[in-house]
Amino acid sequence: MATHSTTENVQEEYFQFTSDIKKQLTIIGVVGAVLFAIGVLYLMIWGGGHGHEAEVAGAAAEGAHGGEGHGEFHWYERLFTNLWINNVYFTGLAVIGLFFVAFQYAAQAGWSASIKRIPEAFGAWLPYAGVLMLVVFVVAWLAHSNLFHWTHSYLYDENDPRYDYIIAGKQAYLNVPFYLGRMVLYFALWYMMYRYIRKESLAEDKLGGVSHFHKMVKYSTIFIIIFAVTSSTSAWDWVLSIDTHWFSTMFGWYVFASWFVSGLAAITLMVVFLREAGYLTIINSSHLHDLGKFVFAFSIFWTYVWFSQFLLIYYANIPEETIYFVERLSSDYYSPIFFINLIMNFFFPFLVFMTRDSKRHTIIIKVVCVVVLVGHWLDFYLMVTPGVLKENGSFGILEIGLAMVYLSAFLFVVLGNLAKAPLVARNHPMLQESLHHHT
């Protein structure tokens, strides 16, 4: 480990969050908001269902769910569904940014020292994500939405014909006060660790030395332990509990894998764009190659978890397990998305990133990373939508518009945070390793 100061070797540079960039993000947000508003009006006037009758094997689903019917479809169900998809997706990008920084420090990796500011900036979205998550859940609950079917009180009343003994048996864990408490705890822990790591990172910039580096290693290790638990429990809470009767012991890993590869693609894409804009001149093709290898490797990891979960459920052929895939494969609407999901998130990145040179060309990197980011948004769409909307699932300008609004807000926060500190951590004790990184 090189412990001497490196400030004389690297010119200090700051990202300029210019008015032009803000204008472009504003345009994306405004266009998205207009599309979203038109989509909501369309839902209110003409309804929000896909229009196919029982294409998701509705009768079979009702039987397998012990009579769990979601009642009449209301337009706002699709609204809440899309808000929740974007909440979970962009929360994942934020917390994976922090996780990336943490495991680099815990491993004492030097190659990434020159790019750590980018994933570090992602964590700035966490408080906004927490507020949005809390607000959407509470509003959906007060509106008696089917976003989380288990929140309906009649399910726990033995005198009500809609009583559900399976859901009632999970009441100790699935109840609104405990659920909200866990949600607040997740974001409080994640944001607290982000603030600790960010504070030491900025102090290291000013003072140099290795004391702040060692504190970063300590805080990073603590965060990884926290995240090892909360990444799974939050996946159970925010996604798995939507299909209340269904369960999978691999689901926490599955959501983590989707979050992780999305975060890696976002980090890689931002590094490439900054480099093309004249920043991060110390980044070479070897850094891009390693980032590409991360995206390539964890696309395979996501596929491994996806296939393992699918194969175990397919092989056992137990009705209460297979219903999850029946809903997605027996529908004329969801089935194409099911296979598009596999193509975008495995076959495309796997085949394109297979060669060494492909991970060193920025145009190829940008195409693959954009496909992966869109693909994993669709992955979360496929995790959430069938469980809430059943045969009424649809995709249109509402989904596109709302995703654009979230993207604009996320980038505003991240780029604003990125502009507040030097773009390269000049006093990182392992920066020399990153400067001379070649693979």
Long-range contacts from 135-139, C-beta under 8 angstroms, 24+ separation: 136/80, 136/83, 136/84, 136/87, 137/84, 137/179, 137/180, 137/183, 138/180, 139/80
As a whole number of angstroms, the distance between CA 232 and CA 350 comes to 26
Among 405, 349, 413, 407, which Cα is nearest to 375's?
A: 349
Assigned token pair, 7: 């400030």
> What domain range includes position 57?
36-435
Let me know if residue 335 belongs to a domain: yes
Let me know if residue 421 belongs to a domain: yes
Let me know if residue 31 belongs to a domain: no
Query: What is the distance in angstroms between the CA of the first residue and the CA of the last residue of the chain?
Result: 19
User: For position 9, what pLDDT does the model report?
Assistant: 52
Question: How many distinct structural domains can be found in the chain?
Answer: 1
Let me know if residue 19 belongs to a domain: no
Let me know if residue 381 belongs to a domain: yes
User: For position 2, what pLDDT does the model report?
Assistant: 36
Write down the pTM of the prediction: 0.91
Let me know if residue 186 belongs to a domain: yes
Assigned token pair, 244: 């209340």
Among 408, 415, 386, 366, which Cα is nearest to 85's?
A: 386
Measured CA to CA in angstroms, residue 28 lies from 15, 21, 33, 94, 189 at distances of 21, 11, 9, 20, 32
> Which residues in the chain land under pLDDT 70?
1-11, 47-73
Let me know if residue 12 belongs to a domain: no
Let me know if residue 385 belongs to a domain: yes
